[in-house]
Amino acid sequence: MWDWWNRKDYSCSSLYNRISHQYNARCFIDGVSKIYKDCGTSGVIKELLGQTLNERNLQIYNFCDAENLMRRRLRCVRTLIVLDNVDELNHREKLVVNPEWLAAGSRVIITSRNKHVLKELGATTVYNVQLLNDANSLKLFCQKAFKSDQIVEGYGDLTHAVLRYANKLPLAIKVLGSFLFGKSVSEWRSALVRLKENPNNDILDVLQISYDRLEDSEKQIFLDIACFFNGLEESFVKKVLDFRGFHPEIGLRVLVDKSLIEISYRTIQMHDLLKVLGRKIVKGKSPKEPEKWSRLWLRKDLYNMSKGKVTKFF
């Protein structure tokens, strides 16, 4: 069986831990994109074969060597291979394992932020990992923030405030819970105020990976949605983006495929933290100087700008 996931969180390792004992050979490569960038194709291949064959000193000189080795050693072994975060199309030619190389009952799971990559890989099953529900969001946060399944007395209101900020995104819940662990109530309050003014960089840095891989026109669409169009009707947004010359049909499809937006009931939806990321990118290195931003979305900033430059309008 071959599974291909469009990922929105970091739960793939949990799945691997639950099912890996059912296989004779197993492999979990976390962050394939980073390994590919740092070590090239050979680095990923060596890691894959090193884990599945339990050998760390393999001499692999090219993809043909890897293919032949896999055919000989794994064709009679029930194997689980998880390749996490395969987000570039040029990975696919040398990372996809031919099912004919492995024994019956083997499974390969590939996760990606980009649904188009999964389509190019020939996915037969695509699973979109959903955001957590309220109960699981609370449970995950408590495990990270309190090392318990229950909210510690005195932290109830603060816990729910943090969860509203994270908005069911597992990455944000994990990062914030770990950060707040062991801190006092006053420190939690201070952290919440700071988060509203300066979002957590550990979260935004991960989210920005998908943004950085967009084409220029797609980046502009992302920023427009983050600043102006989140929650608005798809047809209206398309008209505005088309007027701006951004080719919205293909641009919006790319953002959907990369899990940067959703289109539900003909409405554009962007997660709150992605909206925060977009606005932070617009502010750039001048967060206190709106006159340097490419977009203004608050009435007070627009008013101050027009007031300060009124002589230029007449």
Establish if 227 belongs to a structural domain. yes
98 and 32 within one domain = yes
Q: Is the pLDDT of residue 95 over 70?
A: no
Q: Is the pLDDT of residue 71 over 50?
A: yes
Residue 66 sits at φ, ψ, to 5 deg, of: -65, -45
94 and 6 within one domain = yes
* % of the chain beyond a pLDDT of 70: 89
The pLDDT-based confidence of 310 (bands split at 50, 70, 90) is very low
Tokens of 143: 């495990």
Of 91, 107, 128, which marks where a domain is finished?
128
**Cα 104 to Cα 118: distance, rounded to the nearest angstrom:** 22
pLDDT for 90 equals 59
Q: Is the pLDDT of residue 308 over 70?
A: no
Establish if 157 belongs to a structural domain. yes
217 and 177 within one domain = no
140 and 114 within one domain = no
H/E stretch holding 112 reads strand 107-112
112 and 146 within one domain = no
Establish if 312 belongs to a structural domain. no
pLDDT for 59 equals 73
Q: What is the pLDDT of residues 220-276, one digit of tens each?
A: 999 999 999 999 999 999 999 999 999 999 999 999 988 899 998 899 999 999 999
Establish if 204 belongs to a structural domain. no
List of E strands, 117-200: 126-128
Residue 285 sits at φ, ψ, to 5 deg, of: -90, 10
Look at the pTM and tell me if it is higher than 0.85: no
pLDDT for 94 equals 56
Of 110, 128, 146, which marks where a domain is finished?
128
pLDDT for 8 equals 41
Establish if 311 belongs to a structural domain. no
The pLDDT-based confidence of 109 (bands split at 50, 70, 90) is confident
* % of the chain beyond a pLDDT of 90: 41
66 and 111 within one domain = yes
138 and 123 within one domain = no
Q: What is the pLDDT of residues 132-153, one digit of tens each?
A: 899 999 999 999 999 999 999 9
Of 153, 173, 198, which marks where a domain is finished?
198
Domain that includes residue 245, residue range = 209-301
Average pLDDT over residues 99-125: 80
Q: How many domains does the chain have?
A: 3
139 and 113 within one domain = no
Q: Is the pLDDT of residue 309 over 70?
A: no
**Cα 188 to Cα 152: distance, rounded to the nearest angstrom:** 13
149 and 253 within one domain = no
The pLDDT-based confidence of 314 (bands split at 50, 70, 90) is very low
The CATH number of residue 91's host domain is 3.40.50.300
Establish if 245 belongs to a structural domain. yes
pLDDT for 14 equals 76
55 and 95 within one domain = yes
Q: What is the pLDDT of residues 173-203, one digit of tens each?
A: 988 999 999 999 999 999 999 888 788 888 8
Residues in the chain: 314
Establish if 308 belongs to a structural domain. no
Which segment of 51-60, 82-91, 102-111, 232-241 scores lowest on mean pLDDT? 82-91
112 and 15 within one domain = yes
| Type of residue numbered 284 | G
The CATH number of residue 220's host domain is 1.10.10
Arithmetic mean of pLDDT over the chain: 84
112 and 10 within one domain = yes
Establish if 88 belongs to a structural domain. yes
Name which of 87, 177, 88 is nearest 132 in CA terms. 177
Q: How far apart are the first and last CA of the chain?
A: 69
